[in-house]
Amino acid sequence: MRHGFDEIYKRMKKAIVDHKMIGDATPIMVGVSGGKDSLALLYALKQFQSISKYKYPLAAGHVSLGFPGDEIDPLRQFCDELELPFFWERSQIGELIFDVRRETNPCSLCARMRRGALNALAKANGYPKIALAHHQDDVTETLLLNLFFEGRIGSFKPSTYLDRMALTVIRPFIYVPEEQISYFAQKQALPVSASHCPHNCLGKRQEMKQIIAQLETMAPMGKDRVTGALNRMFSSDWDGRTKEQR
């Protein structure tokens, strides 16, 4: 399996076409955390912008969780190099979750609050479409978590319209394996920032990641099979929910 940018780009382009993620010049804000996935997505969408017939305005949006050591300068510099606008907001999400509420299992709540803050940031600055860097491993982990802990077959949708905020969320990396992103980020020397979260993504998702790594020794193309199956079963409604369940 190739790990260079060409393979990432090819897989991203296929996801965009398969799920009609970009079909006009609607402005897009990429949610950047400082991690390898979001930086790679920003870079890839910048390249795609240059060849797309739809000349969509592109920007980066960052929500700081307020942990000590959080730095935005590397993100700002990266966006300057790509000649892209950079919007950011310093939040108190970290303090609220760990100091005020003292959550013992904070990941789900933190993710919802970050998404809400990013949605508001995009809306306030005129970007009605948000691109998130969930990759093929995230798709597979979510599918298995839903299956084993909720008893349903489904993952997150490639593209979602949020009625209450009039925003569209797209996930162009759903066909891209995490290992390809990791390799590219290292070779390209992307300015990846370490997470300062004291919980640092421990929990069931991390355990599921380890299980998938074991399964890949038996089925190296397993994650491609997963996304292919979701497409065949649900088209673009990967969550598997009926209208009555939503």
Tens digit of each residue's pLDDT (9 = 90 or more) over 32-71: 999 999 999 999 999 999 999 999 999 999 998 866 667 8
pLDDT recorded at residue 212:
94
Pairing of strands 159-162, 167-170: antiparallel
Helix, strand, or coil here: 140?
Answer: helix
Which whole number is the average pLDDT over 200-223? 87
5-234 placed in CATH 3.40.50.150: no
pLDDT at 243 exceeding the cut of 80: no
DSSP β-bridge partners for residue 29: 59, 130
pLDDT at 74 over 60: yes
pLDDT for 198 beyond 70: no
Mind listing the pLDDT tens digit for each residue in 223-233?
Answer: 999 999 999 99
For residue 176, what is the DSSP state?
A: S
Per-residue pLDDT tens over the stretch 4-40: 899 999 999 999 999 999 999 999 999 999 999 999 9
CB contact set of 72 (below 8 Å; sequence gap of 6+): 62, 64, 88
Res. 244: pLDDT tops 70: no
Look at residue 2 in the predicted model and tell me its pLDDT.
47
Local structure of 61: helix, strand or coil: strand
Model's pTM, two decimal places? 0.92
Please say whether the beta carbons of 191 and 39 come within 8 A: yes
Angle at 170 between CA 195 and CA 69, to 5 degrees: 15
Question: Dihedral of CA 192/102/139/206: which sign?
Answer: positive
- Take residue 150 and report the two structure tokens written for it: 């909720």
Between 125 and 72, name the one with better pLDDT.
125
Q: Is 22 left (phi over 0), alpha (psi -120 to 50) or beta?
A: beta
